[in-house]
Amino acid sequence: MVIPPQANYSSTSFGMVAMIDDPLTEGPELSSKIVGKAQGFYGSASQEEVGLIMAMNFAFSEGKYNGSTITILGRNTVFSKVREMPVIGGSGIFRFARGYVQARTHQFTPSSGDAIVEYNVFVLHY
């Protein structure tokens, strides 16, 4: 059982769970070419800081990576300048993928909660 969100009692929103289905683009600009989707979920898993547990797939829909995915599962302390999370697998070209991503927030709008995040992916695959 997931604990109900503690937004009224916790500055970290401990217990909150959200789904992701966002465009995956080449760059941070809204006009950047869409190359796939970032899909998955995250939950607020820390009572002391804003620390998320993230499970996310980069599902590619362009070029030689079309139909392939990279899967990330890890801890994301969103107010840290750089966050590192492991790549735990993939499909298609990225079958048996292992590696890590480094996430950096490019832009964050507190009033809406919207963010543009840059992910640099370092991956080994067969």
pTM to 2 decimals?
Answer: 0.86
- Spatial CB neighbours of 109, under 8 Å, sequence gap ≥ 6: 115
Cβ partners under 8 Å of residue 91, min gap 6 = 67, 68, 69
pLDDT at 7: 53
Between the alpha carbon of residue 22 and those of residues 4, 26, 47, 106, the distances in Å are: 25, 13, 27, 15
pLDDT on residue 1: 47
Q: Which of 122, 124, 115 is nearest to 28 (CA)?
A: 115
Which DSSP state fits 95?
T
Condensed to tens digits (0 to 9), the pLDDT of residues 97-125 reads: 999 999 999 998 888 878 899 999 999 98
- Does 43 have pLDDT greater than 80? yes
Q: What is the pLDDT of residue 101?
A: 98
